Structure 1
Amino acid sequence: FDTELLFSLSLPPLGYQKHLEQDLPHNPKRFDSSLCVLGCEGFTSGRCYWELEVGDGGGWAVGVARESVKRKGEFIFGPEKGIWAVGLWRSRYLVITSPATPLSLSWVPRRIRVSLDYTQGQVAFFDADSEAPIFTFPPASFTGERVRPWLWVEMGSQLRSKEDPIT
Structure 2
Amino acid sequence: YYSFSRYFLECEILFAITVSIRLECIIMFIDLRMIRDAQFNNLRQNAVDVTLDPDTAHPALILSNDGKQVHCGDERKKLPDRSKRFEPAINVLGTQGFSCGRLYYDVQVKGKTVWTLGVAKGSVNRKGEIKLNPENGYWTICLRNRNEYFALAAHPVPLSVNDPPEKVRVFVDYEEGLVSFYDVNAAVLLYSYTGQTFNEKLYPFFRPGTSDSGTNTAPLIITPFKQQRLD
% identical equivalent positions: 29
Q: Determine whether 1:159 maps to 2:214.
A: no
Q: Which has the higher contact order (CA 8 A, sep 6+)?
A: 1
For this pair of structures, how many residues does the alignment match? 159
Distance 1:165 1:149, change over 3 A: farther
SS of the aligned residue for 1:50 comes to strand
SS of the aligned residue for 1:124 comes to strand
- Quote the offset at 1:98 in angstroms: 3.9
Distance 1:165 1:119, change over 3 A: farther
Aligned residue type for 1:2: T
Q: Deviations over 1:99-133 (max 9, x none)?
A: 32111111111100000001111000111112111
- What is the alpha-carbon distance in structure 1 between the residues aligned to residue 98 and residue 180 of structure 2? 15
- Taking the TM superposition and a 5 Å limit, the aligned residue runs for 1:142-157 are 142-143=198-199, 145-156=200-211, 157=216
Aligned residue type for 1:148: Y
Distance 1:87 1:119, change over 3 A: same
SS of the aligned residue for 1:21 comes to coil
Q: Deviations over 1:55-106 (max 9, x none)?
A: 3543111100000111011121111110001110112011112432111111
Is the radius of gyration larger for structure 1 or structure 2? 2
Question: Is this contact kept in 2: 1:84–1:137, CA < 8 A?
Answer: yes
Aligned residue type for 2:104: Y
Q: Determine whether 1:27 maps to 2:104.
A: no
Which of the two has greater helix per residue?
2
Q: Determine whether 1:64 maps to 2:64.
A: no
- Which residues of structure 1 form unaligned runs of 5+? none
What is the TM-score normalised by the length of structure 2?
0.64
One of 49, 64, 70 as aligned partner of 1:9? 70
Aligned residue type for 1:29: K
- What is the alpha-carbon distance in structure 1 between the residues aligned to residue 227 and residue 187 of structure 2? 15
One of 100, 121, 124 as aligned partner of 2:180? 124
Which of the two has greater strand per residue?
1
- What is the alpha-carbon distance in structure 2 between the residues aligned to residue 165 and residue 116 of structure 1? 17
